[in-house]
Amino acid sequence: MSSQRVIIFTDNYERKKLILFPNGEHEMSKFASPHSPLISGTVLIDKQYDILNGDADICKLLCGKTPSNFLTFIEEKDRALFRRRMRNLFSEKVKRTRFIISLKTSRGTLPVEIKGFKANNTVVLNITILELIDVLNESMKFKEALEREMEYYKTIINESPDGIFIESISGDIIDVNDSAAKMLGYTKEELLKIGLREIVPEELLKNSLEIMKSLREKKRVILETFNRHKKGSLIPIELSLNLIKIGGREYVIAISRNLSQRRGAEIKHRAISEMANDGIVMVNSEGIIEHWNPAATRIFRYSSEEMIGKSLYNLIPEDHREEAKLIFKKLLSQRIEGGLKKYERMVVNARRKDGTTFPLEISPSIFVMNNRLYGLVIVRDISNRVAAEQKIIRQNEELKLLYDFALKVSTSLSRDEFFTNTYRQLKKLLKFDSLSISLVDRNGETFTVEFSCEKGKRLPKRTYPLRPDGSLTGWVICNKKKLYIEDTEKGALPSTVHQVGEKVRSWLGVPILYRNQAVGAIVISSFKPCAFQDGDIRLVETLSAYMAVVLKNVNLYEEIRENKEKLENIINSSLIGIILNDEKNNLIFVNERFADMLGYTVEELIGKNFRDVSTPEGFEKIREGTMRRMKGISDSYETTLIRRDGKLIDVLINASPLRDASGKIVGIIGVIIDITERKRMEGRIREEWEKYRTMMENLLVGVVIIQDEKIIYANNILTEILGYTQEEVIGQDFLRFIHPDMRNYLYDNYRRRMMHLPVPDSYIVKLLNAEGKTMWAIIRGALVEWEGKTAEMVSIHDITPMKVMEDKLLALVNAFEDIKLARSEEEVYRLAIDSLTNILHFEHIVIAQIMEGKIIAIKWKGSESPRLLDINEDRGIVAWVARNKTPYYSPDVSKDSLYLRINPTTRSEYATPIATKNRIFGVLNVETEEIDGISEDDRMLIDLMASHMAVALAGLESQKSLEKAKNLQELMVHIVSHDLKNPLAVLQGYIELMKEEPSQEFLSTMEKALEEAEEIIEKTRLFSKLGSGKIESVKETIDVREMVERAIEVVQEKYPDGKIINEVKRIKINALPILKEAFVNILDNAFKYGASEVHITLEVIEDYAEIRFADNGPGIPEDKRNIIFEPFERLSSGKGSGLGLAIVKMIVELHDGKIWVEENKPTGCAFVFKLPAK
């Protein structure tokens, strides 16, 4: 320590500099150099050269104040240079610049060195003002002043009551004052030897990196911690850390204050406040915040420094502040007993630092301290809890809507009733202004808006042509896809809009699909933009599936009713009885006349057996007649029937067999006179039972009846859902089929319902099927009477596919985001195959690209190496999809003539195009080893994957095009700024000479320079066209030999002594006229670089013509052959523009060909063109 002294300089109560002098000597050489910069600094200027910011020293030197425009301080002669350098920086022609100019300062005009670089839309200027003066006297005066201040501040430090430590970054103690040593029980010499680890707790040392990071950012850190006394006890201290630099090295000044005298209660309460998870805010009677803990900072995003001394009401949104003030005033006005009063929790809206509002739970208290009234508020952010509650409420509302829809809407047998119920059910959950339901007409060419309601008002029916471009609804039906337009006033719409009623801003259309056939569409709209969320769209899509089934049932019911009414009108108008009975003599149809004969109604007779309306002898005749009818015999006979009142009547029956469309006998038709009515009631009972049984067996949901905890009835749908037979279900405890997680819940609800206690009408449960797998279902229970005892009838709707589909969609959404961000085609394909494998569980996947009429497998999994296909091949599902740009599904490839056998285990295959609206990139093909092994839902998800792949691939192509355009632009700048310099410099030189001494001799040289410049410009223009693909001519059939001869004529005018041997065969190819320029360039290069002879030959190899230009020049080194086709690559400096071979390569590539260079023995080189011969 004897060889070092630490001096602290202050300026207006702030430490400004700390200078470390080795061996006690001031480093005079730093100030003595006559070339050292006296003043340097930085200014920030914009494009108008206005100064946005600057160092204080620089601004002080420039007339003592911050100038408005930097240009005003530059000498007139240097302003043009300054403007030119700044333009280059702002236009990014250069990244950095450095120059010297004269600057007007308060000391006069001084030379300055300026270093500049661009930062965003501004330029940063580092300015160094050089002044060649003798500064030695000033340095000596400065040294004396420093020594005086050193002694002054050394006295202040040693007399300070606080401990002062000077520490290195590595943790060594450089120096301490007497107060620091005394506070810790050491001498100064002992402290300097032991180091920080002996006096600083382990916890503080662990956080040293974070403390240093904060110290570098803020330059000063204040914290409360402990130091270890020499005796081992911990001393609470307030520690102030300051970061300084000495001779390029960083040091820390630590000032510690002993807090041992602070009351223990204060430390305890502060610790509780600092560690609490809830925010703790203390305010005075005026609502001013006096305490703010870290948890409050996490909740509101304000630091304690920002909030202490500020009003509590700043945390309340403006529209609630006055109400909050009234509540707080009321609380303060109440009487407080015992010095503390607590109030009930309440929930309010609060405001964060960023202006967002959120729900806040507060627990207020009022207390008295030092005869002053204070408020203590415990706050808790309940945003997540409220969001979760709202999500659960929304899901419950959606499930209830689905259940109500299934119960109420699906029972409708009238279209109008069905549409009205649909509107009412949707209105309960969704916010929309209008709803319409459209159905495709029978002709398949138009659709009719059957139901339309806007703000509760019905609109008339309307019919439109069924075309994708004719209307938005037509687009949805034709494409079988949903369409959501967030704002109809922004962006292009896919088809014409028919405005009915007020103007719509948000529009959502979902197709109504029945077995993948579009039967109509449901449309909801709003007068506000962006009115519908993802949950709304999913709900409408789910309901559309229900609607398709119900609409199909309604249509079927209407058709049956119409046919029945027609037939009944004909038969009931007859004067004789007409019946239909089956082979078992059951009546399946009777007319009204026959019913009158027996004293029954028609409905009472339907379902009866002839045995019920016949005497034993009469029935025997009927039975024998039925046997004859089943053999195809028609006849008539008499028998006796019994009327309803017991009277016997004789009847004459003319009967014939009833056949179906295939000729099979399915019953008997009879014409009867005087038929009895005796068993009408029995027939009606049987009829009702058959109807009830048929209805139960044909419902779309499973139905069970539970009595005494046992299943006493189960319909076929339930057994199909669970995979059991009815015999395996009947008589079993119903809890056997419930998932263990929910058995207690279901059993409790069953007991409560049987006791007529409140229970939910419906809920979602987990079931176990025959294989032990979990299934999801919505159930609804109700009490019924069954054989004189109370039982519970339960309807069960299987929603397992919906849950599976939901899980797959959620997983694919994340995969789609990754695909959109992919940086290469390979990454797109890899992510797609991983998603199809891991999420949809497909094992055989192929991704193919379309290249030059060929279909090439790029990436595959689980299949053998796919073969190369021609896009026009007759067989092959992938080729068909590539041609038609339409998905194709083969549920059984063994029966599909398109299928091309590659994988022997494949049983079903689905291929879909990877395409955007205007471009097809390839085909995504999926195969399974099961017949019909790819569900409709999975096919929709595969289509969605292909669509996202196409978007990602299109984005990658756009990015490549932008990079290519940028590279071309840089090449053009290079040509203009470098290659044109030589001929222009020659012209400039001869112009100067002609000014002094005009001479005709200079003109030929100037003319050659102009020709050279013109040649560079022409090649640059051609290179630019080729690079941007702007070649206006089209390919035509040309004779290669004739084109080579024309190229030879052009070159021999320039090189008349050059020998060219043309042995090119006559062959015709499709080529652009510009191909001649490539031949001219090759010949010109050969003679330019020293060849005297060029030998040209042509050979046809397979489908390509190889044209060989062999010269006897000096040849091209092997290490140069791969780079000579790059722009600006020359074998000899000063020869050519460096673009000739680059242009040749681009012309060849326009013809889908290749070019390369070979060695020509014994000397020279050979350029080989390989061009398609067809």
530-581 pLDDT, tens digit per residue, is 989 888 888 888 888 888 888 888 777 777 777 777 666 666 666 678 888 8
> Of 1115, 1120, 1056, 1053, nearest to 1085 (Cα)?
1115
The predicted-structure confidence for 812-867, as pLDDT tens digits, reads as follows: 888 888 888 888 888 999 999 999 999 888 988 999 888 777 888 888 888 666 76
Q: Which of 743, 744, 746, 762 minimizes the C-alpha distance to 754?
A: 746
- Number of other residues whose CB lies within 10 A of the CB of residue 779: 22
- State the pLDDT at residue 33: 35
Evaluate whether 1114 touches 1089 at the Cβ level (below 8 Å): yes
Give yes or no for a cis peptide into 891 (omega within 30° of 0). no
Q: Kindly indicate the confidence band of residue 911, based on its pLDDT and cuts at 50, 70 and 90.
A: very high
Res. 38 pLDDT band, cuts 50 70 90: very low
Which residues, other chains included, contact 611 with Cβ-Cβ below 8 Å and sequence gap of 6+?
585, 619, 622
pLDDT the model gives residue 24: 37
The percentage of residues in the chain with a pLDDT greater than 70, rounded to a whole number, is: 79
Are 849 and 836 in contact, with CB atoms under 8 Å apart? Answer: no
pLDDT at 134: 41
What is the C-alpha to C-alpha distance for residues 328 and 285, in angstroms, rounded to an integer?
Answer: 9
Model confidence pLDDT, tens digit, residues 671-724: 887 655 444 544 554 566 566 666 656 666 788 889 999 998 888 877 888 888
Q: Which of 348-362, 666-680, 947-961 has the highest mean pLDDT?
A: 348-362
Per-residue pLDDT at 19 exceeds 90: no
Residue 522 pLDDT > 90: yes
More confident residue, 634 or 1134: 634
The backbone torsions φ and ψ at residue 942, rounded to the nearest 5 degrees and listed phi first, read: -65, -40
User: If you average pLDDT over residues 646-652, what whole number do you get?
Assistant: 83
φ, ψ dihedrals at 519, nearest 5°: -105, -10
Confidence of residue 63 (pLDDT cuts 50, 70, 90): low
- When pLDDT is averaged across residues 195-199 and rounded to a whole number, the result is 78
Separation between Cα atoms, residue 414 and residue 420, nearest integer Å: 10
Q: Once rounded to an integer, what is the mean pLDDT over residues 275-299?
A: 86
Contacts of 10 (CB under 8 A, 6+ apart): 16, 153
State the pLDDT at residue 1077.
Answer: 83
Q: The dihedral of CA 1049, 1055, 1061, 1065: what is its sign?
A: negative
pLDDT tens figures, 741-766: 989 988 998 999 889 898 888 888 88
Are 310 and 283 within 8 A, CB to CB? no
Q: How confident is the model at residue 1059 (pLDDT cuts 50, 70, 90)?
A: very high
Average of per-residue pLDDT across 1016-1042: 69
- β-bridge pairing 96-105 and 51-54: unpaired
- pLDDT score of 692: 62
CA within 13 Å, CB half, 829: 18
Confidence of residue 1143 (pLDDT cuts 50, 70, 90): confident
Of 705 and 275, the structure prediction assigns the larger pLDDT to 705
User: Over the stretch 360-380, which tens digit does the pLDDT of each residue have?
Assistant: 888 888 877 767 788 888 888
Average pLDDT, the chain: 80
What phi and psi, each to the nearest 5 degrees, are found at residue 842?
A: -95, 140
- Checking if the pLDDT of 205 tops 50, the result is yes
- Whether 13 shows a pLDDT value over 50: the answer reads no
If pLDDT is split at 50, 70 and 90, which confidence band does 810 have?
confident
pLDDT of residue 414: 77
Please, are residues 235 and 258 in contact by the beta-carbon 8 Å criterion?
A: yes
Domains of the chain: 35-133 (3.30.450.20), 139-262 (3.30.450.20), 265-381 (3.30.450.20), 388-559 (3.30.450.40), 576-694 (3.30.450.20), 700-795 (3.30.450.20), 803-961 (3.30.450.40), 1031-1172 (3.30.565.10)
Among the listed ranges 37-41, 592-596, 628-632, 841-845, which one has the minimum average pLDDT value? 37-41
3-state per-residue secondary structure call for 947-1000: HHHHHHHHHHHHHHHHHHHHHHHHHHHHHHHHHCHHHHHHHHHHHHHHHHCCCC
Q: What is the mean pLDDT of residues 173-201?
A: 82
> Is residue 484 very low, low, confident or very high in pLDDT (cuts 50, 70, 90)?
very high
639 exposure class (CB count in 10 Å sphere: 0-12, 13-18, 19+): buried
- The structure tokens listed for 1075 are 């191909």
795 secondary structure, DSSP code: E
- For residue 943, the SS3 value is helix
Which tokens belong to 1074? 């510009």
- The answer to whether the beta carbons of residues 291 and 378 sit under 8 Å apart is no
pTM > 0.95: yes or no: no
Summarised one tens digit per residue, pLDDT across range 85-126 is 998 888 888 889 988 888 888 777 888 889 999 888 888 888
- Token pair, residue 136, equals 């030695």
- CA–CA dist 1057, 981 (Å, integer): 31
Residue 1051 has pLDDT above 50, yes or no: yes
What's the average model confidence in pLDDT over 645-667? 85
In tens, the pLDDT along 136-157 reads 445 456 556 666 666 766 776 7
Quote the pLDDT of residue 16.
30
Judge whether 399 and 301 are in contact, CB under 8 Å: no
